[in-house]
Amino acid sequence: MSRFKKITSIFCASILVFALMASFSTALAVEDDSLQNVETDIEKSAKAYADALVKQAALDDEVANIKIRILELEDALPQQQERCNYSIKELYKFTPNRINMIMSLFSANNISDLITMVDSYNYIIGQNYEAVYKTATLKKELESSYSDLKIAKSDADGAASAAKANLEEAISLRQKNQEAALVQQKEEAKTTGVSSSAAAATKENVDWSENKKTFVNSWASRIDAYLSGSPTAGCGEYYAAAAWDYGVDPRWAPAISLSESGKGVKCFHPYNAWGYGQKEFSSWKEGIYTVVKTLGTPLYGGTLTMKSAKIYSGHEDPTDWYNLISGEMAKI
């Protein structure tokens, strides 16, 4: 009986451990799914914002072109109306004098004079009718332009509202991502050998409240200053734009390039300044966008932490690598 109880206890304990492992695995899966959803939403919000801006710009151009055409029509119409009024009077004169016109044709001395007279009458009548028709056409186009302008303005306002909404969503998602990373950094600083200066460097908040254009202009110059004199000099705009698109700290990838290749001085593969596997790139721009997009995935979380440092560097103890990268980030 004692042996049976022992076997039973071991069996129950095994079931409990298995249940706990299953629960833990489920929790990790849920967390990974949540992170993946956040990253997907960040990319979607960036694309939606960019698409909305393009649509808004196109509609603004359409509105501007319609306004220009309306001004042209309003300028031309008064003079054309005068011609129309004159032509109507001339046509009216011809109406009661048709008999006289016919008699004058019979008075022609020869067929050549007759043809000349007919052509002359047709030209006069045709010119007058053309003036009346052109006036009516201009009026119709002007009325249509007013209607088109109203519709285009409404569409442009809608596109502007959509762009604003997408921007607000993009900002909110990036801020939440950053807040989560900062919490993780604080917890790691308590239990690891992260230097105080390194921890301070990574705690500088990236201002995601700006729109993409302002964000890129702000960070591109800072990154360009950091890259000055290196093979990757002038790539600040690529780093900043990719960082905004994928919700990544814009200092992170440039700092990695220092550690892995001296900012592009010694690349083991073409245009691969980040030690990014065995990958070859066709340009710095391609490499930057690929690496920054990867850093924005749930695996790395969009900013430097001990966890992401360990994964990227491949070191069991990534403290030195973390301190180096965060120190470089502080220079940007």
Q: Quick check: 288 and 242 in contact, CB under 8 A?
A: yes
The Cα–Cα gap between 185 and 303 comes to: 10
Reply yes or no on whether the pLDDT at 188 is more than 90.
no
User: What gap in Å lies between CA 281 and CA 291, rounded to an integer?
Assistant: 11
pTM of the model: 0.56
* Surface-to-core class of residue 285, CB atoms within 10 Å of its CB (0-12 exposed, 13-18 middle, 19+ buried): middle
DSSP state of 205: P
Which pLDDT belongs to residue 100? 55
Instruction: Please write the tens of the pLDDT for every residue from 190-221.
Output: 666 555 555 555 556 788 877 889 999 999 99
Confidence at residue 24, expressed as pLDDT on a 0 to 100 scale: 35
- Position 87 pLDDT exceeds 80: no
Q: How far apart are CA 30 and CA 36, in angstroms?
A: 10
Q: Would you state the pLDDT for residue 25?
A: 38
The domain 36-171 is placed in CATH, from the list 1.10.287, 1.10.10, 2.60.40, 1.10.3470, at 1.10.287
Residue 32 pLDDT level (bands cut at 50, 70, 90): very low
**pLDDT at residue 285, rounded to an integer:** 97
- Per residue in 297-308, pLDDT (tens digit) is 888 888 888 889
Rounded CA-CA distance 186/305 in Å is 9
Average pLDDT, the chain: 75
Cα 1 to Cα 5, 7, 8, distances in angstroms: 6, 10, 10
**pLDDT for the residue numbered 60:** 81
Element (H, E) at 289: helix 284-295
Domain ranges for the chain, please list them.
36-171, 193-329
Query: What does the pLDDT read at residue 268?
Result: 92
Half-sphere exposure of 148 (CA within 13 A, CB side): 18
Q: What is the pLDDT of residues 117-159, one digit of tens each?
A: 555 555 656 666 676 677 778 778 878 877 887 887 788 777 7
Question: Virtual CA dihedral for 311, 254, 35, 217, nearest 10 degrees?
Answer: 180
How far are the Cα atoms of 131, 242, 273 from residue 237, in angstroms, in the given order?
A: 57, 8, 16
Q: Which band of pLDDT confidence, cut at 50, 70 and 90, is reported for residue 47?
A: confident
What is the model's pLDDT at position 30?
A: 38
Query: What integer pLDDT is reported at residue 68 of this predicted model?
Result: 85
Most confident of 99-103, 180-184, 216-220: 216-220
Residues whose CB is less than 8 angstroms from the CB of residue 12 and which lie 6 or more positions away in sequence, other chains included: none
- Residue 255 is predicted with a pLDDT of 96
Work out the average pLDDT over 227-252.
95
Pull the structure tokens for residue 298: 């749930």
Given a cut of 60, is residue 11 above it in pLDDT?
no
Compute the distance between CA of residue 132 and CA of residue 108 in angstroms, rounded to an integer: 31
Per-residue confidence at 97, pLDDT binned at 50, 70, 90? low
